[in-house]
Amino acid sequence: MTDGEVPPNLLKQIRRKINTISTNDADDTKQCYETIHIQRAVPLISPRKGATF
């Protein structure tokens, strides 16, 4: 399991309302953003080194 796989698994277990989620650049993955979107929270994730938009 990689660092980017942990937050989605943890978020799926939480039943309370989450407003914002703050993580490091290891969680800058599509899977993390999709899980955060499902939770209707605001992601505060720093981009990975060398990331382009």
pLDDT tens for each residue of 22-52: 988 888 888 889 989 989 999 998 888 887 7
12: helix, strand or coil: coil
Q: What are the φ and ψ backbone dihedral angles of 36, each rounded to 5 degrees?
A: -65, -40
- Where along the chain do its domains lie? 15-47
23 class by beta-carbon count within 10 Å (0-12 exposed, 13-18 middle, 19+ buried): middle
pLDDT for residue 53 is more than 70: no
Give the global pTM: 0.75
Alpha-carbon distances, residue 22 vs 4, 40 (angstroms): 13, 14
